[in-house]
Amino acid sequence: MSRTYTGKEIAEHSSRESCWIIVHGKVYDVTEFLPEHPGGSKIILKYAGKDATAEYDPIHPPNAITDNLPPEKHLGSVDLTTVEKVEVVITDEEKARQQRIAQRPPLTEVLNLHDFEAIARQVMPEKAWAYYSSAADDEITIRENHAAYHRVWFRPRILRNVTHVDWSTKILGLPSKMPVYITATALGKLGHPDGELNLTRAAAKHGVIQMIPTLASCSFDELVDAAVPGQAQFLQLYVNSDREITKKFVQHAEKRGIKGLFITVDAPQLGRREKDMRMKFEAEDPAEVTDNKQQDRVDRSQGAARAISSFIDTGLDWKDIPWFQSITTMPIILKGVQCWEDALLAYDAGLAGVVLSNHGGRQLEFSRSGIETLVEVVTKLKEKRGLAFPNEKFQLFVDGGVRRASDVLKAIALGATAVGVGRPFLYAFSSYGQDGVEHALQILHDEFEMNMRLLGARTISEIVPEMVDASSIHQHIVSVPTDNLYFSNYESMQSARLREI
Ligand code: 173
């Protein structure tokens, strides 16, 4: 039977042979779980017999521990007044970071979304920056995502009365103040203690839709509870190998009023994000690295993301689509489609749309950008099924590399209903919390207003394919001036280094 323990009793279980930890005032016996922990046993052993809450919170979804440990390992509660505080050592590096935080420019001086990235890189904890900014392999794809927009040029119209311009639209039938939604990104609390709540609150103020990630740091219900009446939210879904878990989650989401289910289909295995991996090695104490063999059963060398992704079902298949359709009436959208053939299959399967995306360049290296894929999908779905875009019944979305409203308008002209923006909002809240996200949305607002006028389009429906020249989209050569703001933020990858001994 569960009971209340004292800190002293728990402290006696501080070894590999008997390892208890405290999380949120509860005590757990994790001895047998040590070799299974996707993040490795070492990090748990550091907190053996102690309160691990502060380390646990930013990286785990709130219910990870209760879901993963059998009930008999939930030992009971702890009287927190009897627990010795884990000493927090403030390193010189952390002191320097705090100094940089104090030096952030006021938001009035933040002029564009690139600025948030430049600031975030200097003020975020190193590990968090490495996780958010990293991408697959040689990080060519993440850069191509942005560069692809340089291959689309405008053909604006003149002498149209553009006194009033309106860039509001509908996404899956729901009103949105702009053709942009906040796309799903994991582990929001790595960047800011309020995590994804920053996005929910800012989205409410600016009338945009947030896609809640399966792997949010805040709990799903917290994010839904934080929405104001009438605020629409979507859900990004990682499908669990245990389909009962997925079914419960999806049905719960529908009950809670989620308006669209975006199933991620480009991540049966996570890509290699070497910036993130290297950070993890460098964070290790060299004295404890005894040999080159992997001691734990689980490969924990893969940085923050792999550590928590082992539940994702590699067996997900087109055959599963009818099952999803049978468990929910929410519109279902596949997120991570990368060629017209799969977009066509999604359409034929009766789905509500696809997100043309390469997962922010974090998955398959040399997968084409969403904006490039959009061009072929629009062409082929017209040819094969007579569809015209944008299309209410089958909506196309793109994400990846978007930094300006002009990027968004290019995608809209080419047939997208809306565009997902991920990292820029993470960088905005990591640097300035909710105010940062609101400011980012205000920047986009101002950019839309100007660009609509300069394009000669008064409404989103006047943003037509003739307003862009995308004839070079498939040429993977960018012979335009370098985007200095973007590339000065881009952090070059590093090679292996010798260890200090
Ligand atoms: O891109 C990611 O990092 C991501 O989608 C993910 C997947 C699993 C766990 C954490 C993040």
The whole-model pTM stands at 0.90
Q: What is the CA radius of gyration of the chain?
A: 24
Question: Nearest 5°: CA angle at 327, between 325 and 328?
Answer: 70
Query: What pLDDT sits at residue 424?
Result: 98
Give, using CA atoms, the residue closest to atom 8 of ligand 1.
309
Q: Is the CB of 59 under 6 A from ligand 1?
A: no
Q: What is the reported pLDDT for 298?
A: 44
Contact 130, 279 (CB under 8 A): yes
One-letter amino acid identity for 367?
A: S
Structure tokens of 343? Answer: 């977009």
Least Cα distance to 420 among 313, 275, 312, 260 occurs for 260
Side chain identity at residue 266, one-letter code: D
- In DSSP notation, 3-50 reads EEEPHHHHHT-BSSSSBEEEETTEEEE-TTTGGG-TT-HHHHHHTTTS
Instruction: Give the three-class secondary structure for 117.
Output: helix
**pLDDT value, residue 230:** 97
Q: Is 270 in the pocket of ligand 1 (CB under 6 A)?
A: yes
Residue 303: the pLDDT is: 61
* Among candidate residues 205, 206, 201, 232, the one with its CA nearest the CA of residue 218: 201
Give the list of residues 6+ apart from residue 204 with CB closer than 8 angstroms, or none: 227, 228, 231
pLDDT of residue 281: 66
130 Cα–ligand 1 center, Å: 13
The answer to whether the CB of 307 is under 6 A from ligand 1 is no
- Would the CB of 359 count as within 6 Å of ligand 1? yes
CA of 377 to the centre of ligand 1 (A): 26
SS3 content of the chain, % helix, strand, coil (to 5): 45, 15, 45
C-beta of residue 330 within 8 angstroms of C-beta of residue 249: no
Indicate which atom in ligand 1 lies nearest the CA of residue 186. Answer: 11
- Please tell me the residue having the least CA distance from ligand 1 atom 11: 305
**For the purposes of burial, counting CB atoms within 10 Å of the CB of 468, is it exposed (0-12), middle (13-18) or buried (19 or more)?**
buried
- Mean pLDDT, consecutive 10-residue stretches, the chain (501 aa), reads 86 94 94 77 88 82 79 91 83 96 97 97 95 96 96 98 98 98 96 97 98 96 98 98 97 98 96 88 50 44 67 96 98 98 99 99 98 98 98 98 98 99 98 98 98 98 98 85 88 83 83
The three-class DSSP label of residue 349 is coil
Q: Is 239 in the pocket of ligand 1 (CB under 6 A)?
A: no
Quote ipTM for the complex: 0.94
Active site residues: 238, 266, 359
Which of the 8 DSSP states describes residue 129?
A: H
The closest-lying atom of ligand 1 relative to the alpha carbon of residue 304 is 10
Q: Which residue has its alpha carbon closest to ligand 1 atom 1?
A: 362
Structure confidence at residue 1 (pLDDT): 54
